[in-house]
Amino acid sequence: MHREIRIEKYGDAAKLVLRDQRAELQPKPEEVLIDVKYSGVNFADIQMRMGLYPDAPPRPFVPGYEVSGIVEAVGSSVSGLVPGDRVLAGTYFGGYSSKVSVPKNQVFKLPSSFELEKAAALPVSYFTARLALIEMGRVREGDRVLIECATGGVGTIAIQMAKSLGAEVVGLTTTPSKKAYIESYGAQAFTVEELEADPSIARFDFVLNASGGRSISKQLKRLDLTGRIVCMGLNASVGGGRANPLRVLKTVLGTPIFPVLSLMNKNRGVYGLNALRVLEDAEWVERLTKALEADLVRLGLDPHVDRVFPCEEVKDAHLLLENKAAKGKVLIGWS
Ligand SMILES: NC(=O)c1ccc[n+]([C@@H]2O[C@H](COP(=O)([O-])OP(=O)(O)OC[C@H]3O[C@@H](n4cnc5c(N)ncnc54)[C@H](OP(=O)(O)O)[C@@H]3O)[C@@H](O)[C@H]2O)c1
């Protein structure tokens, strides 16, 4: 038997349901069965719980993009992993579960020194930050980098990655009391309002945008010549615990459209990022998993886990994130 948390109805955090599953999970030939210890909670899970996530499967479904745990069994064609190995894995949905069976190429064996708790906090944050800063943004030594949502899971890793690459980093938050958290990673911290009020905070080579809507046009003005902006989220469309169609519409309509000629004249680049689409490509999964191995050492990435909630308290895990009360990552623990 295993347990899983499902989205059966859209709505507030209380709509998440914990269910027992009696069916035995068996790994297919190319799969690895993992006894999950921790599942990562992401902003996207909140959007899908509200029915605001077009990529989500039809209800009922189990959300969750990432887990860490112990290999319980491997399929007949799997090599390089054995029962008992400590691993992290990307799960394209299904991660809010005490057991998962996933293809071998989505599983990464952990170095002995890396804690299981931190491991569940890594896959989404790392892959997203890597795609945005390195694959798309080509951030390099001396660049000036602006990271929005700097206190979240992705933001924390993005700051660490940019600093390790030798960039000068500015982190943004909507919560003044979290500025010290950003500064603790060696970045300058501003609230969104402080940035908007001070036009001299500018000439960025790279911006990581998470709010979407009008914030993109505002941040574009801060880019230096040849600057790149990566748009990865629509945070501005979320608030109040449930879907708010007016808020969503305002964010979507506020999102700018870029004529190529205007980008040419301004010497700027705009990227859109959907990591899920990249991770559907087996070659990219292999490439990024190899990069993770190297980057863990090269960039010294260290996810910050704010809190681990027992699976029975998943509602509180979602509330901590959506009420902007978390710093770094929130996890679900399976005992
Ligand atoms: N495109 C992709 O492939 C991809 C992949 C992963 C994540 N993302 C996006 O990256 C962003 C960060 O994701 P994450 O999982 O790292 O986030 P997270 O850890 O859940 O971040 C939560 C933090 O976001 C800030 N925030 C800003 N606007 C908010 C709002 N309307 N409601 C609640 N919190 C808000 C708050 O920080 P402050 O209090 O400091 O403002 C909050 O504490 C999200 O937009 C997510 O959708 C995109």
Say yes or no: CB of residue 28 within 6 Å of ligand 1.
Answer: no
**Which single residue is written with the structure tokens 């190319």?**
30
Residue 238: pLDDT over 90? no
Mean pLDDT of the chain: 95
Ligand 1 within 6 A of CB of 128? yes
Ligand 1, residue 322: give the atom nearest the CA: 33
Q: How far is the C-alpha of 298 from the C-alpha of 93, rounded, in Å?
A: 29
| Strands 223-231 and 2-7, sheet pairing | unpaired
DSSP per residue over 263-281, as a string? Answer: HHHHT-EEEE--HHHHTTS
Q: Residue 273: CB within 6 Å of ligand 1?
A: yes
CB 271 within 8 A of CB 229: yes
Residues 145/162, Cβ–Cβ less than 8 Å: yes
pLDDT in tens, 132-161: 999 999 999 999 999 999 999 999 999 999
Of 194, 229, 324, which is best to mutate to test ligand 1, by the most ligand atoms within 8 angstroms of its C-beta? Answer: 324
Q: What is the DSSP string of 220-235?
A: HTTEEEEEEEEE---G
CB-CB contact of 52 with 233 (8 Å): no
pTM confidence score:
0.96
- Beta bridge pairs of residue 205: none
Q: Is the confidence at residue 223, as pLDDT, over 90?
A: yes
First-residue to last-residue Cα distance in the chain: 13
295 lines ligand 1 (CB under 6 A): no
